Amino acid sequence: MPAGHASDPQELSADTPAKMHDAEAAAGRSGSDAPAGGGPIVETKDLRKCFGKNEILKGIDFEVLPGEVVSVIGASGSGKSTFLRCINLLEWPTSGQVLYHGQNVLEAGYDVNRYRIHLGMVFQQFNLFNNLNVLQNCVIGQVRAAGVSKAEAKDRAVEYLSKVGMEPYVEAKPRQLSGGQKQRVAIARALSMQPEALLFDEPTSALDPEMVGEVLSVIGELAESGLTMVIVTHEMAFARDVSDRVVFVDDGVIAEQGPPAELFENPQLPRTREFLTRFHAG
Ligand SMILES: Nc1ncnc2c1ncn2[C@@H]1O[C@H](COP(=O)(O)OP(=O)(O)OP(=O)(O)O)[C@@H](O)[C@H]1O
Ligand SMILES: [Mg+2]
């Protein structure tokens, strides 16, 4: 079925995704067209990003393997969000490579829209469409960006909303939900696209303290289910519990990384120790 632009519902306002995918390109669903093999899903090589004269990312070499949960920690302003946004090309890197199953997605002619479908993103501020209800929020991307039929998209949306405990709220508008509920909807929306990996940018930082737990427990369940995830977080105890690897970003580079027990118990660099001490003290 074509991803008919003409049949787009009227109520979808300017804050809905503008650039939609054609049906042909979307026909291969995420995951199904991913090359087999045990290599990294995504890899960056000497990734650099400048804003004007400021070099924010100063050569990041990174990879995430299938099923891996990687937490990214570091001080405010160190470049964590910029790094995630360069991975899924919300920001275009200044130089270096972003490889998806070994292919450089920055090369001319690469189908960037299709690449983005493979990587879900969950934002600090939820980024739900306020004019759409919960179900519509979880359906629209599937139909318009990935070419899924409306019926299937609804089934998937309900399935993932159930998973995060938000199925009773399918008719609700975002303004009727708490922050924790909005974030759980945002997670269900990302999962509905059946991405190969999910990127989280401080998913609990905008929440009232009593709602942090419900969102972290959903993310923890996803980690246990084997979903590949990269999580920027300031929740150190959580990072320690769920991660296979923790990456410490400092001033635009990966200063140190390792299994959580090693990085948290026995950081090698003074800079890492300082950061962790400040955190424990705070
Ligand atoms: N679009 C932009 N234009 C100019 N400068 C930017 C832009 N986005 C980020 N920066 C700058 O890049 C630096 C790193 O920002 P970034 O948001 O990646 O840090 P962060 O590690 O995510 O911090 P936080 O923990 O506070 O979220 C900051 O100095 C920021 O001001
Ligand atoms: Mg940030």
The binding-site residues of ligand 1, defined as CB within 6 angstroms of any ligand atom, are: 51, 56, 74, 76-82
d(CA 15, CA 97): 30
The model's pLDDT over 36-79, given as tens digits with 9 standing for 90+, comes to 567 999 999 999 999 999 999 999 999 999 999 999 999 999 99
Alpha-carbon distance 262 to 227, whole Å? 23
pLDDT on residue 77:
96
Confidence band for 16, pLDDT divided at 50, 70 and 90:
very low
Q: Give distance in angstroms: CA of 108 to centre of ligand 1.
A: 27
- In tens, the pLDDT along 149-169 reads 999 999 999 999 999 999 999
Task: Give the number of other CB atoms < 10 A from CB of residue 7.
Answer: 9
pLDDT at 20: 34
Residue 184 tokens read as: 């759980």
Looking at residue 281, its pLDDT comes to: 59
Report DSSP letters for 42-108, one per residue.
EEEEEEEEEETTEEEEEEEEEEE-TT-EEEEE--TTSSHHHHHHHHTTSS--SEEEEEETTEETTST
Window from 13-22, 37-46, 212-221, 240-249 with minimum mean pLDDT: 13-22
The rounded Å distance from CA 88 to ligand 1 centre is 16
Give pLDDT, residue 278.
86
Structure pTM?
Answer: 0.88
